[in-house]
């Protein structure tokens, strides 16, 4: 996510009194002029009636949002001689003004501050509410501004310039990766647990098919806890997306755990992918670095599922609009869950009352191309008495995460200099290069290929997943056991959809 620098200049002359704003502005930016004028008046400052022209440059792109108010106000006050504009040379200003002069928080402050820092600015004047969020970026002097009078007093030197930051970065870093849930709370279900671990280790998308009460949602919620720990750099990148969505607060200015987003199946395409008149990131962007969980997978609209396909490949999403388009990160891992049939009991024919037609129609709602983006398909069985009895000696998230991190380390080294980072992201070329087989393994795959009538895609998917299970075992070569496990995930898909 990138920003652009905008210079705001004011010119005061003796023409017909009035306020004109120019520079390819959206209506809410233009209205900022009125907000500023009213706020100045309500502060009891009387400005002699003059012709004021405000220019926002460069003029080659459209300026949107209410964040320009503070800069416009500063430009006007400076043009009237309230202070010297050159004092603001190394500074940026952003914030929305209320009619009473209060400075209100705006979305996207983290990305804006980062952009200012990269552009060589040293100081930021911004809403008090946004100071903590901006201070996460580091390396900038931040001035939290309460209202317009406060701004004037600071800029005219009546109040001492004092930078503030209430964030203790050490404390924030120490409080990262603390989850309220843990894998040890899951009872039994060894196959499901294993599939989750493999999915997390290789960043493979995961589909869980099973009846209600099999612990599908419980497992999905705990996926972030076994993914590699968040470091501060990744945490800031994720937080920027939440900043744009105005979801950070002064108390919680940093996303400290991997996101888990679980939109309901009635979610609109726009809420899922992002958009709107002032485009906001959607669920798939908010799930960046974490899990996008789609429960009742076939119940999502065809349109919603189709829009996921491209982001799943490209790890970002472009939101098109009338004026321009915006690209947001959408680097999420997909976990989908569904019942095997409308009633949920198939293939247990003693309980399932669905007709074959009903089951087929239900399963066909998930398209082949969508299934092709999911490497691991696993069946969840109803929880048994044995499962419940076995709870208490289940592995914790911390233990599983240690193995996942080790497997990721192997992958980072393998893919150094490549455009992918995990086995789940490998393309055909990577698979040829990194998933070579021994003679015995090759023979096994040949047999399986014939026996299961595999497609080329499924063959590749088996190799990708086998690469991950070998990495989890810290084995350099893919073994027969790895291939067998990977084939079992393809068979689960086969059972419901065929290939």
Which lies closer to Zn ion via its Cβ, residue 68 or residue 362? 362
Which lies closer to Zn ion via its Cβ, residue 139 or residue 357? 357
343 is a contact residue toward Zn ion (CB under 5 A): yes
> Which range, of 104-112, 207-215, 278-286, 350-358, touches Zn ion by CB under 5 A?
350-358
Q: 70 near 152, Cβ under 8 Å?
A: no
Which lies closer to Zn ion via its Cβ, residue 212 or residue 303? 212
The one among 352, 407, 435, 483 contacting Zn ion by CB under 5 A: 352
Neighbouring residues of 309: CB distance < 8 A, sequence distance ≥ 6: 369, 370, 373
> Which range, of 248-256, 352-360, 395-403, 476-484, touches Zn ion by CB under 5 A?
352-360
Total residues at interface with Zn ion (CB under 5 A): 6
Which lies closer to Zn ion via its Cβ, residue 26 or residue 343? 343
Length of the chain, in residues: 499
Which lies closer to Zn ion via its Cβ, residue 271 or residue 343? 343
Give residues 353-412 in contact with Zn ion (rule: CB under 5 A): 354
297 is a contact residue toward Zn ion (CB under 5 A): no
Torsion of CA 383, 389, 393, 398, to 10 degrees: 30
Which lies closer to Zn ion via its Cβ, residue 10 or residue 363? 363
Which lies closer to Zn ion via its Cβ, residue 93 or residue 352? 352
Burial of 483 (0-12, 13-18, 19+ CB in 10 A): buried
Strand partners, 198: none
The one among 341, 380, 462, 465 contacting Zn ion by CB under 5 A: 341
* Residue spans of alpha helices (H) in 175-291: 190-202, 216-226, 232-244, 269-273, 283-286
Q: 73 near 13, Cβ under 8 Å?
A: no
> Which range, of 267-275, 347-355, 416-424, 436-444, touches Zn ion by CB under 5 A?
347-355
> Which range, of 90-98, 125-133, 239-247, 345-353, touches Zn ion by CB under 5 A?
345-353
Neighbouring residues of 398: CB distance < 8 A, sequence distance ≥ 6: none
* Cα 123 to Cα 50, 92, 101, 136, 427, distances in angstroms: 31, 6, 22, 14, 44
Long-range contact list for 431-435, CB < 8 A, 24+ apart?
431/460, 431/463, 431/464, 434/467, 435/463, 435/464, 435/466, 435/467, 435/478
> Which range, of 64-72, 195-203, 344-352, 488-496, touches Zn ion by CB under 5 A?
344-352
Q: 461 near 490, Cβ under 8 Å?
A: yes
Question: What's the closest the beta carbon of residue 376 comes to Zn ion, in angstroms?
Answer: 24
Closest CA to 132 of 165, 159, 181: 165
Question: What's the closest the beta carbon of residue 343 comes to Zn ion, in angstroms?
Answer: 3
Which lies closer to Zn ion via its Cβ, residue 260 or residue 346? 346
> Which range, of 5-13, 262-270, 286-294, 335-343, touches Zn ion by CB under 5 A?
335-343
The one among 125, 297, 300, 346 contacting Zn ion by CB under 5 A: 346
Binding site for Zn ion (CB under 5 A): 341, 343, 345-346, 352, 354
């Amino acid at each position: 996510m990138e920003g652009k620098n905008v210079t705001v200049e004011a010119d005061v002359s003796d023409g017909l009194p009035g306020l004109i704003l120019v520079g390819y502005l959206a209506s809410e930016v233009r209205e900022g002029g009125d907000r500023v004028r009213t706020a100045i008046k309500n502060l009891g400052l009387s400005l002699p009636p003059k012709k004021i022209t405000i220019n926002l440059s460069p003029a080659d792109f459209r300026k949107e949002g209410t964040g320009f108010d503070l800069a416009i106000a500063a430009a006007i006050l400076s043009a009237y001689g309230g202070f010297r504009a050159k004092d603001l040379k190394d500074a940026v200003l952003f914030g929305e003004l209320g009619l009473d002069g209060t400075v209100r928080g705006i979305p996207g402050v983290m990305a804006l501050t980062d952009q200012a820092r990269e552009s060589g600015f040293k100081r930021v004047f911004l809403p008090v509410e946004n100071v903590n969020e901006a201070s996460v970026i580091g390396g900038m002097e931040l001035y939290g501004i309460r209202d317009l009078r406060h701004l004037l007093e600071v800029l005219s030197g009546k109040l001492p310039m004092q930078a503030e930051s209430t964030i203790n970065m050490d404390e924030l870093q120490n409080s990262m990766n603390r989850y309220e849930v843990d894998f040890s709370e899951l009872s039994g279900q060894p196959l499901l647990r294993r599939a989750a671990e493999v999915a997390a280790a290789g960043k493979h998308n995961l589909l869980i098919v099973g009846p209600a009460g099999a612990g599908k949602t419980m497992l999905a919620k705990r996926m972030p806890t076994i993914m590699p720990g968040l470091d501060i750099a990744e945490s800031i990148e994720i937080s920027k997306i939440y900043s744009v969505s105005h979801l950070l607060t002064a108390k919680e200015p940093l996303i400290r755990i991997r996101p888990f987003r679980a939109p309901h199946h009635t979610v609109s395409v726009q809420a899922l992918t992002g958009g709107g008149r002032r485009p906001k990131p959607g669920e798939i962007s908010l799930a960046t670095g974490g899990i996008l969980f789609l429960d009742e997978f076939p119940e999502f609209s065809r349109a919603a599922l189709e829009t996921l396909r491209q982001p799943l490949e490209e790890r970002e999403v472009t939101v098109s609009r009338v004026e321009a388009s915006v690209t947001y990160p959408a680097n999420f891992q997909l976990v989908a869950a569904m019942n095997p049939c409308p009633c949920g009991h198939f293939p247990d024919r003693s309980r399932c009352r669905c007709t074959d037609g009903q089951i087929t129609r239900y399963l066909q709602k998930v398209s082949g191309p969508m299934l092709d983006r999911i490497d691991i398909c696993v069946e969840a069985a109803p929880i048994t008495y044995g499962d419940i009895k076995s709870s208490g000696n289940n592995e914790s998230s911390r233990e599983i995460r240690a193995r996942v991190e080790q497997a990721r380390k192997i992958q980072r080294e393998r893919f150094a200099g490549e455009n992918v980072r995990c086995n789940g992201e490998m393309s055909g070329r990577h698979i040829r290069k990194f998933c070579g087989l021994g003679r015995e393994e090759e023979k096994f795959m040949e047999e399986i290929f014939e026996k299961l009538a595999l497609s080329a895609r499924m063959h590749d998917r088996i190799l990708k997943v086998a690469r991950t299970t070998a990495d989890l075992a810290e084995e350099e070569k893919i073994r027969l056991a790895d291939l067998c496990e990977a084939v079992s995930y393809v068979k689960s898909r086969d059972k419901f959809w065929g290939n």
